[in-house]
Amino acid sequence: MHRVGTVNYHVHKPERQAFEIDAGGVVGRLIAPDLIPTEIGLHDTRAGDTAVSFADDSVAFETYPSAVTAFAGDGWQAQYDAELTALLTRAVGVQEVVVFDHTVREDDPNSDRKPARNVHSDYSAEGAQKRLVDILGADRAADWAEGRYGFINVWRPVGAPINSAPLGFVRPATVKPEDWILIDLIYPDRRGHIMGLAANAGHEWVYQSNMTPDEVAFFNIYDSQGLASVAHSAVDRVEDASITRIRKSIESRTLVRY
């Protein structure tokens, strides 16, 4: 079945671009670089339109129920971190996992953390190396950097199946090096980077329709030995127009050692 959606691609410009976050101290205020809404075709792994693997495509989908059902407060984190560690150890073959961030996103105008609607990956090489030190400290980071390490995100629906704004991924083999754009992240107290993606008619988009809270997507956002970083974005698409529930999800960022 042919599926379509809309994403916001970044745009090449002669000057350096940036997201300015919480500008002026106003929570949620964002000054963004130019983005171009673009209609895309989607291959649905659930419908058998395509198949992906973490080793080949830097993303995989798996049924992986959690004992955690409510992601409020902080009493759930130890349990959930242990579950994510077990998942990545088994499914990816990593030796060590550090879970360092959880973000609950809700597709509501009043939410401080809405789904990210720009095609991107979370780290540049420089940003990943800096984040390694930030998380582990200089001595431990130097030890990890002697081998292979990476950053993997794990994404899960919360509360109900995803009917709108599903998370889509660009198959890395269809991305050209010149499609990537380094974008600054400017916070009130620090700077970082992400990698934005410019449109290319050759991009092949994949997703899994109607993902449930018992399912996860895990995807590579940096690998020190060259596994491709996967571009991703919430896709403006509604599966069933008769359903009006709000899309809610949790994204967990992990640092892994192979």
CA pseudo-torsion sign 186, 132, 226, 54: negative
pLDDT at 84: 98
pLDDT at 145: 97
Average pLDDT over residues 127-156: 97
Number of domains in the chain: 1
**Which residue would you say has higher pLDDT here, 113 or 64?**
64
Q: Rounded to whole angstroms, what are the CA distances from 27 to 112, 188, 190, 249?
A: 7, 11, 16, 20
Read off the pLDDT of residues 151-197 as tens digits, 9 standing for 90 and up: 999 999 999 999 999 999 999 999 999 999 999 888 787 778 899 99
Residue numbers of the domain that contains 239 = 3-257
Read off the pLDDT of residues 1-50 as tens digits, 9 standing for 90 and up: 579 999 999 999 998 888 887 766 666 566 778 899 999 999 999 998 89
Q: Is the pLDDT of residue 245 over 60?
A: yes
pLDDT at 20: 84
Average pLDDT over residues 70-75: 89
Percentage of the chain surpassing pLDDT 90? 82
Contacts of 88 (CB under 8 A, 6+ apart): 94, 97, 152, 154, 218, 254, 256
The predicted model scores a pTM of 0.94
